[in-house]
Amino acid sequence: MTGLNGKKLAQAGLVLPRSARPGQAWAPRTPAEEHLLREAQRLDRIRLLLLEELGRARAEAGRRPLSEKVAAAARAAERLKGCPLPPAQLNAVAAAAAGESVHATARRLSLSWETVRSHRQRALRRLGARDMEHAVQLCTAAGWITPEHASAGVSQ
């Protein structure tokens, strides 16, 4: 993968093998090939999400001076002091605060929906919340989720 710059990497994508018969598209013939194709498609989607996130991070990095970034990180660390939730569970609650479904959160974070559901359920237990709405209220009131994080669906 050396020698690929950002533009070439963005344009690169999943390339299927050539078919044994000219003029026909390649198609998986065995369960193993079907599995490998699904995995390749999943990894290609993750590659595109990472490139998108990298573009956002580069754009954001160009707008904010380093001292401001350090100050923001310090504020975030101070805000999360005393939070009983690990980052994954807090992110799941923040996504719920943004109105994101379990499936949408799973797609965005490239996790299974069961994992996201589990993070939400564990967050409910740790917070002693009745339901997800109550958990969002508790996290917002404590300052662990800010309105910006809730609208973005992520907590940092």
pLDDT digits (tens, 9 = 90+) for 88-113: 898 899 899 888 899 998 998 889 99
Which residues, given as ranges, of the chain have pLDDT below 50? 1-3, 155-156
| pLDDT score at 117 | 95
| pLDDT score at 47 | 85
| pLDDT score at 54 | 84
- 137 close to 97: Cβ distance less than 8 angstroms: no
**Domain ranges (residues) in the chain:** 82-152
| pLDDT score at 10 | 60
CATH 3.10.110.10 fits 82-152, yes or no: no
| pLDDT score at 6 | 56
